Amino acid sequence: MLTSKLTDQAQTTIPQPVRAALHLAEGDEIAYVIEGDRVVLTKASVVTRDDPFATFGEWNSEADQRAYANL
C-alpha cells in the first residue's frame, strides 16, 4: 500500500508509482469518485465539447460549472 501525508493546506504529493500507473504528467487533471468510505482516483479524460457558456465569462465560475454539469 502506498501512502502520502496531507499538509496543513490540504495538499499531498501523489506517489511516483501512482503517477506512473495513471500516466500522469504536469498539468494533467485528476478525477475523484467517492464510493462510500473509499475514493477512486483516476486520470481525468479530456472531453472536447461545445461549452454554451464559454462566451459568458461571468457564468464560468466553478459554482456555475457544478450547477450546470448535468443539464
**Looking at the domain assignment, is residue 32 inside a domain?**
yes
pTM: 0.59
What is the residue-level pLDDT of the chain in tens, covering all 71 positions? 999 999 999 999 999 999 999 999 998 999 999 999 999 999 998 766 666 666 666 766 778 778 888 88
**Looking at the domain assignment, is residue 53 inside a domain?**
yes
Mention every residue, 6+ apart, whose C-beta is less than 8 A from residue 56.
none
Domain limits at 40?
A: 16-68
**Looking at the domain assignment, is residue 4 inside a domain?**
no
**Looking at the domain assignment, is residue 31 inside a domain?**
yes
In DSSP terms, 71 is beta-bridged to none
- Total number of domains constituting the chain: 1
**Looking at the domain assignment, is residue 26 inside a domain?**
yes
**Looking at the domain assignment, is residue 54 inside a domain?**
yes
64 — phi, psi (to 5°)? -65, -40
**Looking at the domain assignment, is residue 3 inside a domain?**
no
